[in-house]
Amino acid sequence: MKDNRNNPSDADGVRIDIQAGETLPQATARHGLSIRKDCGDKGVCGQCRIRVDDARDATPLTDAEQQHLDSGEIERGFRLACQVRLSSPARLWIPSAALDTADVHGKESFACQLEADPMVARLFLERSAVPLVMEGKTLSLTGWLAERVREETGVHLRLRHHRILSALSAPEAASQAMTLVNHAQQGVTAIWPGRRPASYGLAFDIGTTTLAAYLCDLVTGEVRASASAVNPQRTVGEDVISRIAHCSQETEGLDQLRGLVVEGMNGLIRNCLASAGLKADAVDEVVVVGNPTMEQILAGFHPHAIGVAPYLPLTSHIPDLTAEELGLDLYPATAVYFFPVVSGFIGGDTLGAVLADGLFHGEKTALLVDIGTNGEIVMGNKDALWATSCATGPALEGAQLSCGMRAAAGAIDRVFREPGGTIGYHVLGKNGTRPKGICGSGIVDALATLRQAGGLDPSGRLNPDFPGVETDDNGVGHKFVLVRASENASGGEIAVTLKDIRQFQLAKAALAVGIAFLMDRVGVDGVSRTVLTGAFGARFNWRSAVVTGMLPAVVVRNGVAPKLNLAGVGAVMGLVNRCHRDRALEIQDQIRFVEMAGDPSFIERFTAATAFPDLNTLTDLLDA
């Protein structure tokens, strides 16, 4: 699919040079830039267009480039960054739409204060000399220390970490006034001189697209600071399948992805600590939620079995690791707890979301939908919980659409009909930010608006007589031009093509069929409430989702609640109060996974769900 970003103004991009012996990624890194890799360098998305000026030794155009670039672009030197190789110095122009931005929307902070009963506690010991005469069964310095703690606090101390024993072995160390960080299961994980009462923990939500960290006071139960960033692993592809493929295809793939996510987490640790005015020695525990692939990669386990049928994670519960084992910039023995997982695609993030929402103790059946590059759906009540997952693909997060981008500054995130009937849009970012592309919530709105305005028929074909619908000279059939080239920051128009619509139809059908399967399994024809979460899930207009058939009308009639960061809230709950970890384990035990692909009716139902619904069946919702 070619697009027509034909006349970009050089002001809407960045010029860089490539020096002799330097690769393109090295040159962009030297300039502190990164080029989009929505498809993981596979030549599929066409989003990494750059212009190569003054190149003497560029490799010939690949098939992927022939497919994505039109003759005008090729003439002016446009190439796909993931395809071209340069063996001599050159000058490049990178349009702003091709630049990867670290800007993140979707995992903002939240304020909460929970009852604190953490897994770790700080214990204080005053200075005390070792008695000159001791007697008993087994005598040791640590035995003497443990006995003092037992007498003073009632806590049975376990001193088994090599680092802790090593610290205590120094002359006089066991006699000093000290603060012990005691983990209920791991034993003492840190020793500090003197009295240090402040005790904090970090909860991480490791998303395929976004990383978020929440710094919590383990004494008051308050979230003190938070930070988020794009997951640096996105440089090898936007979805978990690309990440798994990278681990399998590259010799150092797993280590590389592990290193990238750890680097991202360390950045968030620094940000959180700086904004709370704390040092790393204040952090006593870490809790991680993530989908099974993200958790496994972070723990250093190859995720290959998640990528092939029957899509199995290595284990349903990664054992506790330490900050040192993971490479986190914290005290080395600091314990890191991973939320358990249910299946290859229902992970600790979903359990965290169910925990935070309270779906598991409701009397009536409710639905929780977490939508990103994968959709996780949980339905149930206090008696039973059912879950399934569906490959919604990157289209709903704006990737792999002809003009798609993540929900970052410059993304069209809302599309609507103006009072005069024309189609308007809203752009993420400061006032005056010019549009660069369209993100997931924007495409849902765009198609719903077109459908309601008569620009799109139930099969997904654009009406050629609708204003803005034009023949797609570079693609197939028609396209709807949302932004003319003159209004776009990157100089090209922003359009919704037939191929984009087909991609969206596949994604929305997967989700709608998943919900329908769960309703069958639970034996209901509606739900008492629906919760939408996830960086994308909580941000789209649910009415638009109903108009497009992404959400069946029967699940929204009793109320829809978008809830940002439910997985992150669940992680915070598990960090601050240990009873929530037990509850997450109970939820894990209670959830039954439903596999749709093996059902004989799946193909038929999926095909039917690709159509856009009859608007006459939705009048009560649309008029509300």
Interface residues with ligand FES (CB under 6 A)?
37-39, 41-48, 80, 82
Least separation in angstroms between residue 516's CB and ligand FES is 33
CB closer to ligand FES, 35 vs 191 = 35
Least separation in angstroms between residue 293's CB and ligand FES is 20
Closest to 536 (Cα-Cα) out of 375, 385, 300, 346: 375
CB closer to ligand FES, 100 vs 370 = 100
CB closer to ligand FES, 63 vs 363 = 63
Least separation in angstroms between residue 411's CB and ligand FES is 18
Least separation in angstroms between residue 8's CB and ligand FES is 17
Closest chain position to ligand FES (CB)? 82
The residues, ordered by sequence, that sit 6+ positions from 240 with a Cβ below 8 Å of its Cβ are: 208, 291, 293, 294, 303, 306, 345, 373, 374
CB closer to ligand FES, 201 vs 394 = 394
CB closer to ligand FES, 49 vs 414 = 49
Cα 98 to Cα 38: distance, rounded to the nearest angstrom: 10
Beta bridge partners of 575: none
Least separation in angstroms between residue 400's CB and ligand FES is 8
Strands 335-338 and 478-483: unpaired
Cα 536 to Cα 213: distance, rounded to the nearest angstrom: 18
| Residue owning tokens 């960045």 | 14
Least separation in angstroms between residue 61's CB and ligand FES is 13
Q: Are 443 and 467 in contact (CB under 8 A)?
A: no
CB closer to ligand FES, 223 vs 494 = 494
The residues, ordered by sequence, that sit 6+ positions from 383 with a Cβ below 8 Å of its Cβ are: none
What are the phi and psi torsion angles at 241 (to 5°)? -65, -40
Least separation in angstroms between residue 81's CB and ligand FES is 6
Q: Cis omega before residue 313 (within 30°)?
A: no
Burial group, residue 611, by CB count within 10 angstroms (0-12, 13-18, 19+): middle
Beta bridge partners of 183: 120, 187
Give rounded-to-5 percent helix, strand, coil for the chain: 35, 25, 45
CB closer to ligand FES, 38 vs 239 = 38
Least separation in angstroms between residue 267's CB and ligand FES is 24
CB closer to ligand FES, 86 vs 282 = 86
Alpha-carbon distances of 442 from 295, 370, 497, rounded to whole Å = 30, 18, 14
Q: Are 81 and 100 in contact (CB under 8 A)?
A: no
CA atoms within 13 A on the CB side of 340: 17
Alpha-carbon distances of 262 from 297, 338, 551, rounded to whole Å = 10, 15, 36
∠ at Cα 371 (114, 624), nearest 5°?
A: 90
Least separation in angstroms between residue 237's CB and ligand FES is 8
Q: Are 377 and 368 in contact (CB under 8 A)?
A: yes
Closest to 66 (Cα-Cα) out of 58, 74, 57: 74
CB closer to ligand FES, 39 vs 168 = 39
CB closer to ligand FES, 46 vs 468 = 46
CB closer to ligand FES, 5 vs 107 = 5
Cα 527 to Cα 429: distance, rounded to the nearest angstrom: 36
Least separation in angstroms between residue 436's CB and ligand FES is 16
Least separation in angstroms between residue 535's CB and ligand FES is 21
Cα 462 to Cα 482: distance, rounded to the nearest angstrom: 13
CB closer to ligand FES, 41 vs 472 = 41
Least separation in angstroms between residue 239's CB and ligand FES is 12
The continuous run of DSSP H or E covering 590 comes out as: helix 579-590
